[in-house]
Structure 1
Amino acid sequence: MSDSERLLLVASPLMHRTPAFDRAAALAKAKGVPLHIVAFDYVEGLATAGLVNEQALTEMREGYLMRHRQWLEEQAAALRNLSIVVTTEVMWVQCPLEEILRHVKELNPSMLIKDLEHESLLMRTLFTPLDLRLLRECSSALHLVAKVQHATPRKILAAVDPFKPEEQFEQFNDHIILAAEKLASQCNAELHLLYAYDLSYMYASEGMGSTIFSAGMGEAVYEAEGKAFTELADRYRVPPECRHFIMGVPAKVITAYAEEENIDVVVLGTVHRRGLNKLLGSTAEQVVYHMHSSLLAIKPSSF
């Protein structure tokens, strides 16, 4: 376990460069930090070849792993020519979640990078996909990469929520902005700040119950939330043209804005609120399955 900053990439088992591979290489170069690449192989046909004896099966599996290691080392060599410190690893693992979490615990990476795998609604209902499990259980910042228009991000969006800060982890919005600000600085990217203001939060709050907002009350609440967002943006000197205060369901607002403005990375938090309030974590989970850009999810344990 090292105290120095490093990146951990979970590479595709298909032996080709994916968006996450390109993003990890670009970030390692921009940040000037080491990159460890691990791939988890499991070929069902090799694992269940009942007509092949155990020794032959072992040889076939090792041959496959050797080819993958050679391919990965060839990719790493090209990155080393760019002065990036790269190490590689290939493992035979059927269910990679536990191995990924073990690597995170042992390597303590500043960021875990992985390709985003879109699943159907039915699959998300019947099973818990790997990306969803990592959103909930990974202690490091998790960068799920979708399509990559720019390997090095050019536009970064920090999605914050100043609503009832006393119910959130202390200074969590600040941590989100600082993570986005640091990434933007390292990549020479444009930083935007977004607060998707959802009036339904008010109805879910304790004591509001069936209260019907008057027009005056709704306007007063809107102004109060706008003031809280402005104060947060002022504290980090975000230019007025890079502040976005939009009413609507957070997941829909974030995904729509990211798509319309060609945002490369959306930074948001994955911590749950208590009680009947809406879950911040569920917003991240909704965003990750509908957004075409990439997500950097952080939680208090990331700091």
Structure 2
Amino acid sequence: MLFSKRILVILDSGEHSPKALHRAQLIAERMGCELELLWVGKSEPWTGLAQDLAVLQSSAVRFTQEVITKDLIDLVVERWQQDHFALLVKGCDLRHNNRRLLAPRDWQLLRETPCPVLLVKQDQHWADGRILAAVNTVTHDPQLRAHNQSILMLAGFIAHALNAPLHAAVATPMAMQGVEPELQSQVLIDQRAQRCAENVLSEMNLRVAQLHVGEGPPEHWIPHVSTEIDASLVVMGTLARKGVSAALLGNTAERILDRLNTDILVLRAGIDQPLPPLMT
């Protein structure tokens, strides 16, 4: 079962850290997990921290605390090697758009963490909104196809557990001249993407309340759909590019962080484990 072991919670002085702690507690209570709280940075914690910890202490959730004195990314990888935690939770940083030589901490976590990463922005309960899976079902690459199926299955698992509506969003490429006829018409491109998505969902026996297919790029289409349907959580994947390729090509999940007003659950390509069929 997903979320069946330990959850790692990264806490700092960021605006969304209290929300991350609250979200992690909700997940731990529902899934029967333990929390490991890792404190980062030297800044003062948020006002109300003592009350938040008192609430956590009075709950049935078991937790430990530790102040980090080493590099966060190295510590996360080290923790993974010691005990394959099921999820990493952190308040989403607000500074991703600042130009800098090194990638922001959130980006580094998405690239390096070998488990799903939940970046928290909101306090609302996920069951009060809609769960949105952002996927590319047109790909012919077997590994990417399996990765997109894992994204859909993870989103479906969450929606099923919360009895919340599940939606899926597919961003299509822009029509181009001089290529095969099917790629010269936006209508044909969208129809092809619709068919591919419906086939994948049918193969998985997974139903969605609505399938949203529209012209990309993903960093514009996915936030548009998320706002339109009032999503409470967006589940998406990342190729976790690093080094020069990350600087030149980037990662969609990273570019989209600041465009979304929801919590974002990111699954890295290449580390997702096969999930059992989810019957809905």
Q: TM-score when scaled to structure 2?
A: 0.79
What does 1:21-36 align with in structure 2 at a 5 Å threshold? 21-36=21-36
**Which of 256, 271, 274 is the equivalent residue of 1:301?**
271
> For residue 251 of structure 2, what is the amino acid of its counterpart?
S
CA distance in 2, matches of 1:253, 1:16: 25
Residues 261 and 16 of structure 1, relative CA distance in 2, 3 Å threshold:
closer
Q: Which residue of 2 aligns with 1:163?
A: 138
Q: Which residue of 1 aligns with 2:9?
A: 9
Unmatched 5+ stretches in structure 1: 44-63, 204-209
**Aligned residues: CA RMSD:** 3.3
What does 1:151-300 align with in structure 2 at a 5 Å threshold? 154-166=129-141, 168-169=143-144, 171-199=146-174, 211=178, 217-218=184-185, 219-239=187-207, 241-271=209-239, 282-299=251-268, 300=270
> For residue 42 of structure 1, what is the amino acid of its counterpart?
K
What does 1:84-123 align with in structure 2 at a 5 Å threshold? 84-93=61-70, 95-119=71-95, 121=97, 123=98
CA distance in 1, matches of 2:65, 2:86: 17
Deviations 1:51-103 (A, max 9, x none): xxxxxxxxxxxxx9xxx7xx97864442243322222222345x433223323
CA distance in 2, matches of 1:88, 1:74: 16
Q: Which residue of 2 aligns with 1:19?
A: 19
CA distance in 2, matches of 1:34, 1:153: 25
> For residue 301 of structure 1, what is the amino acid of its counterpart?
I
Give the aligned length: 262
> For residue 238 of structure 2, what is the amino acid of its counterpart?
T
Given that 1:23 and 1:151 are in contact with CA atoms closer than 8 Å, whether structure 2 keeps it comes out as no
Q: TM-score when scaled to structure 1?
A: 0.74
Deviations 1:167-201 (A, max 9, x none): 6435111111111122223333221111111236x
**Greater C-alpha radius of gyration:** 1
- Identity across the alignment (%): 24
Given that 1:35 and 1:84 are in contact with CA atoms closer than 8 Å, whether structure 2 keeps it comes out as yes
Matched, 1:81 2:75: no
Deviations 1:238-285 (A, max 9, x none): 546422222221111111211232211111111269xx9xx9962111
Query: Which range moves more in the overlay, 258-267 or 9-18?
Result: 9-18
Given that 2:20 and 2:120 are in contact with CA atoms closer than 8 Å, whether structure 1 keeps it comes out as yes
Given that 1:271 and 1:281 are in contact with CA atoms closer than 8 Å, whether structure 2 keeps it comes out as no
Deviation, 1:14, is 7.0
Deviation, 1:301, is 1.1
CA distance in 2, matches of 1:31, 1:171: 25
CA distance in 2, matches of 1:294, 1:16: 10
Query: Which range moves more in the overlay, 156-165 or 8-17?
Result: 8-17
Deviations 1:199-246 (A, max 9, x none): 36xx6xxxxxx7256588524443322211111222344546422222
